[in-house]
Amino acid sequence: MTKLLQFTRFALTLSPRLQPSTFFPGRRRSPASLAGIALVLLVFSIAGGAENANASPEAKALLLEKGCGGCHLIPGVEDAYGEAGPSLKGMKTRKRLLGGKLKNTPENMRAWLMNPGSVKSGTVMPNLGLTNEDADIMIEYFKKI
Ligand code: HEC
């Protein structure tokens, strides 16, 4: 019990020092905290770059050529912030497509990419003339993002 009291007294003597400024030192940033911030920024930029590296050059070229980014948000592809279609972030973990209508299998994805209207009539996604090889490239790419 006396130990607990001693500890409480000790904690109380410390408390005036535990001001918000201890955690948010404002302008008085120590070199250590600046280094910490730099490190966090560095880690984030590497993580962003890794997403970029996932796209094969063929996949990126195809996405740009076909203008997929005009309708989809695609991680790691420049200017791909479209909102007409769903975001393509996290395709590799997606179990179903088209709001649950279609199982996310390579065959279904091929059918969808090569002729969206044949899978879902009236869909906004146009037939962009993807070849079988184009579909292969996309299917591989979607396993990585
Ligand atoms: C004109 C806009 C438009 C363009 C261009 C477009 N899409 Fe789409 N896309 C859509 C829409 C809208 C949907 C949602 C389909 C629906 O539910 O009717 C969709 C759905 C998808 C899906 C299914 C995602 C899911 O989780 O349901 C994939 C994958 C996809 N598009 C890939 C592509 C690729 C690859 C390209 C380029 C070759 C492309 N899209 C070009 C509009 C577009």
pLDDT of the chain, 145 residues: tens digit per residue: 566 666 656 655 555 565 555 566 666 666 676 576 566 555 555 454 455 556 789 999 999 999 999 999 998 888 899 999 999 999 999 999 999 999 999 999 999 999 999 999 999 999 999 999 999 999 999 999 9
In whole angstroms, give the CA distance from residue 139 to residue 45: 26
The verdict on the CB of residue 66 being under 6 Å from ligand 1 is yes
Structure confidence at residue 23 (pLDDT): 60
pLDDT of residue 24: 62
Q: Tokens standing for 16?
A: 């005036």
CA atoms within 13 A on the CB side of 97: 21
Residue 117: partners with Cβ closer than 8 Å, 6 or more residues away: 123, 127
CA of 125 relative to ligand 1 center, distance in Å: 5
Q: Other CB atoms closer than 10 Å to residue 125's CB: what's the count?
A: 18
- Determine the residue of 89, 97, 108, 125 to mutate for testing ligand 1's pocket, defined as the one with the most ligand atoms within 8 A of the Cβ atom: 125
Model pLDDT, residue 141: 95
